[in-house]
Amino acid sequence: MASETTTEGNYTKPLPRLKGMTGEWFGWLKKHELRFQKCTGCGHWRHVPRELCPECGSDGWEWARSSGKGKLYTWTTTYRPMHPSFTEVPFAQVVIEMEEGPRVLSHIVGTGVEELDFDMPVEVIFDDVTPEVTLAKFRKSGG
Amino acid sequence: MTTLKDQACIVGIGETEYYRKPGSGMSELKLMLQASQRAIADAGLKVSDIDGLMVPILGGTAEDFAANLGIENLRYAAQVNMGGAAPVASLQTAAMVVANGIADYVLVPAGWNGYSGVRAREITEADIEFQLGHTARDYYLPFGFNAPPQWYSVMARRHMHDYQTPPEALGAIAVACRKHAQFSEKAIMRGKPLTMEDYLASGWISEPYRLFDCSLETDGAAAVIVTTPERAKALTGHAPIYISGVAEGHPYPADDIINRPDMFTIGLTHAAPKAYEMAGIGPEDMDFAQIYDCFTFEVLQQIEEAGFCARGEGAGFVRDGAIELGGKLPINTHGGLLSEAHILGMTHITEAVRQLRHEAGDRQVEGARAGLVTGWGDFGDGSLAVLTRK
């Protein structure tokens, strides 16, 4: 999908640095695929990217594709701007627990802050905020 | 087995004035130097006695302190990078240092221009990377999740859901700290009492945090001096206050507040039992607790994780004045970060010492002999000290 909040060329919010494994993770998002590291030793899914599996110690892993489905684990609703680039309050920062286990910090698009609820089912959408960077955001799904 | 139990004492405390508008007019280093000089004088020591330094998380280097204070023979300096948990965790390191003869008198300062300098909500990308790591920089900041009330309120909201913790529980903490600030001559909120109705009517900052869930932004500094019990007994100005139990703890993973197997297991969860075991006394023996109160829920959470009640029972614990002076566990008897001043946790230590010296004036917990002080930093780093008088 196209970015809901900006038009190309004037995106002023902070961007991730596309280096190392972080660059790889966001590289998949640019292809509109949400993937997480999955240990080839024990099968444990992890996020954020790490060198080693914290469960078994293996340094073997693959970028395994997520179903993109998850549920709202918790959130905060920012009413007082805390950053000069995020002044359109109120807005919610959400913690999404994916079906595979990892949790992701993100935004929910298309649902007002008053409608958010615990365990609300969501699915990933891809917001191409710049030509280089795509952010994984979420929208309410049918459940 | 060797132990740090009662191997070190706090013998000097010092504080600056606390400032809001227009600010201190001093550098952060100058504030800390002033507090350090006052702590050295309070101990009855000379600057030349100081030979160890716990370097604060911001505002000055070991070299800055030694050169400005005139410490000609600095034998040990180290820094604990645990944000607001650093002052109490630094007591642990200072105790290790003096107990092993590496240095004799260790200065532990902290302070900042939290009002007139860079405020938490104005944190830069470089600061986020430096203080909190690349997870916060690359995975949180692009979503505007960059400030402490946001980070911690996601935990608060989940706790309120899982344990039916009502807003009035957080309000009870705000009200208690404000009540105690009325007895602190230097408290920013002295003369400004707060009721539960005022609390519930205050506006959202980062829901579920309201304005009065949030600590003050202030300028100021404080410092303490740590030495051995033998040296402490030779100083006659004040009763020596013993570090009877002390520990630090780190949540897992420490750099990612949302991907923890159990969101409520924090550094203090690990540190508290260790400190109690060392001290040989437990939460039921504490005459007071100075609990790092960056936000109200963090106090509730630490009350639970420090073992004053079971997880999820904090709301029941804090009601009906239980945490106010005269209650079963007075907390933050100086008003805390919420209502006295935000000095990064160092004034929780100076207040604990003042209470145990029985020099706390109108807010004295009568006959106090044992008290707890905690620190909270970054994404849930924790530290805890059991302080006693003999």
Given this model, what pLDDT does residue B122 score? 65
- Asked if the structure places residue A4 within a domain, the reply is no
Q: Does A7 map to a domain?
A: no
**Domain assignment of residue B187, yes or no:** no
Q: Is-contact B215 B295, C-beta < 8 A?
A: yes
Distance from CA of B86 to the nearest CA of A (A): 24
Query: What's the pLDDT at B118?
Result: 73
CA nearest to B152, candidates B67, B84, B246: B84
Residue B312 lies in a domain: yes
pLDDT tens digit string along A79-99?
Answer: 999 999 999 999 999 999 999
Chain A residues with CB inside 8 Å of B204's CB? 77, 79-80, 90
Q: Are strands B370-377 and B381-388 parallel, antiparallel or unpaired?
A: antiparallel
Which chain A residues contact residue B136 at CB under 8 A?
A: none
pLDDT of A5 over the 90 cut: no
**pLDDT bracket for residue A4 (50, 70, 90):** very low
Residue B331 covered by a domain = yes
pLDDT above 60 for A6: no
Contact flag B142-A103 (C-beta cutoff 8 Å): no
Give chain B positions within 8 Å (CB) of A136. none
Within a domain: B271? yes
Task: Please report whether residue A6 resides in a domain.
Answer: no
pLDDT tens, residue by residue, A109-133 = 999 999 999 999 999 999 999 999 9
Per the structure, the count of domains in chain A is 1
Are the Cβ atoms of B135 and A103 closer than 8 angstroms? Answer: no
Yes or no, beta carbons of B154 and A22 under 8 Å apart? no
Q: Residue B278: inside a domain, yes or no?
A: yes
Task: Return the pLDDT at B129.
Answer: 80
**Is B143 within 8 Å of A135 when comparing Cβ atoms?**
yes
Q: Span A39-61, mean pLDDT?
A: 97
B203/A93 Cβ within 8 A: no
B59 assigned to some structural domain: yes
User: What is the count of structural domains for chain B?
Assistant: 1
Interface contact B142-A73, CB threshold 8 A: no
CATH number of the CATH domain containing B349: 3.40.47.10
- For residue A1, name the pLDDT band (cuts at 50, 70, 90): very low
pLDDT confidence of residue B238: 97
pLDDT at position B132 is 81
In a domain, B77, yes or no: yes
User: For an interface test with A, which of B258, B263, B297 has the most A Cβ atoms less than 10 Å from its Cβ?
Assistant: B258
Note down the domain range covering A88.
20-140
Query: Could you write out the three-class secondary structure of B105-170?
Result: CEEEEEEEECCCCCCHHHCCHHHHHHHHCHHHHHHHHHHCCCCHHHHHHHHHHHHHHHHCCCHHHH
Residue range of the domain that includes B56 = 9-117+215-388
For tokens 């007591």, name the residue.
B91
> B64-86 pLDDT, tens per residue?
999 999 999 999 999 999 999 99
Cβ-nearest to B142 among A13, A95, A103 = A13
pLDDT of residue B176: 98
Give the pLDDT score at B128.
80
User: pLDDT 10s digit of each residue in chain B, 390 long?
Assistant: 589 999 999 999 999 999 999 999 999 999 999 999 999 999 999 999 999 999 999 999 999 999 999 999 999 999 999 999 999 999 999 999 999 999 999 999 999 999 999 765 566 787 788 778 899 999 999 999 999 999 999 999 999 999 999 999 999 999 999 999 999 999 999 999 999 999 999 999 999 999 999 999 999 999 999 999 999 999 999 999 999 999 999 999 999 999 999 999 999 999 999 999 999 999 999 999 999 999 999 999 999 999 999 999 999 999 999 999 999 999 999 999 999 999 999 999 999 999 999 999 999 999 999 999 999 999 999 999 999 999
